[in-house]
Amino acid sequence: MPAAVCARCNAAMKVIRTGAPVLEKFEDGNPYKLWAADLLQCPICQIKVLMNFGTEPMASHYQLGFANLVLRTMGQEQLYEF
Ligand SMILES: [Zn+2]
């Protein structure tokens, strides 16, 4: 069973990254929680989707070191946001 299907291309999307860092933000734009998710891509149109988030975030805004973790992650790799 495919994890996801591109509704535009009718193609099974492929996992191109597991554990991709995703930053959830407050409405005012400040960092709220840091998640890990799978990044999937359509092999035809190349559209990407983040899904399969963990049940718990890797870190939350109230925890010590959260801001440093977010900054360090941004410096090391693509950080997705929503
Ligand atoms: Zn597609």
Domain residue limits, the chain: 5-81
How far is residue 41 from each of residues 56, 69, 82, measured CA to CA in Å?
24, 27, 18
The confidence score (pLDDT) of residue 3 equals 85
Residue 9 CA to ligand 1 centre (angstroms): 4
Amino acid at residue number 54: G
pTM confidence score: 0.89
Residue 17's CB is within 10 A of a number of other CB atoms, namely 16
Q: H-helix or E-strand containing 19?
A: strand 14-25
Residue 31 CA to ligand 1 centre (angstroms): 31
Q: What is the pLDDT along the chain (82 residues), one digit of tens a residue?
A: 878 999 999 999 999 999 999 999 999 999 999 999 999 999 999 999 999 999 999 999 999 999 999 999 999 999 999 9
Residue 48 CA to ligand 1 centre (angstroms): 9
Residue 37 CA to ligand 1 centre (angstroms): 20
Total residue count of the chain as it appears in this document: 82
62 and 79 in contact (C-beta within 8 Å)?
Answer: no
Please provide the average confidence, as pLDDT, over all residues in the chain: 96
